[in-house]
């Protein structure tokens, strides 16, 4: 039983919108290396990919929780093999951890990209 967590695309977050607005304002400056529309599109695409990855991680986590519940139900049965339970639990927990590490890594890259873009935008603004 899959849970459909697909939501319609939403407008960029206010933080991303601030950065995009700053980039667009900075394009009017005479800075030798103004940000391109490609940079803006890349940030928006990364945002969408991050949100999609988060959504998928939630779906995967829900599936893993169902597997864990099944494992617990099996190990609670008389005569169940604890070795089987331990090896399956180890595998399931490894999958869960790998999914979280992957999402954390994607989030860290996106945060770095936003920070980098913010720093570049600040350098372009005449003070």
DSSP readout, 2-26?
---------PPPHHHHHHHHHHHHH
Burial group, residue 117, by CB count within 10 angstroms (0-12, 13-18, 19+): buried
**pLDDT at site 119:** 75
Q: Is residue 3 part of a domain?
A: no
Average pLDDT over the chain reads: 81
Angle formed by the axes of helices 37-75 and 82-124, to 10°? Answer: 160
Instruction: Name the residue with tokens 């949100």.
Output: 51
Q: Is residue 6 part of a domain?
A: no
The model scores a pTM over 0.85: no
Domain count, the chain: 1
Q: Is residue 67 part of a domain?
A: yes
């Amino acid at each position: 039983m899959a849970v459909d967590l697909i939501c319609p695309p939403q407008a960029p977050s206010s933080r991303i919108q601030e950065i995009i607005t700053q980039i667009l304002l900075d394009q009017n400056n005479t800075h030798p290396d103004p940000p391109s529309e490609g940079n803006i599109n890349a940030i928006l695409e990364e945002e969408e990919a991050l949100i999609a990855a988060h959504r998928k991680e939630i779906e995967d986590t829900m599936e893993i929780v169902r597997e864990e519940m099944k494992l617990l139900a099996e190990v609670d049965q008389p005569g169940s093999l604890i070795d089987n339970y331990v090896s399956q639990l180890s595998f399931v927990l490894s999958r869960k951890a790998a999914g979280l590490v992957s999402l954390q890594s994607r989030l860290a890259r996106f945060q770095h990209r936003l920070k980098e873009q913010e720093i570049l935008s600040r350098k372009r603004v005449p003070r």
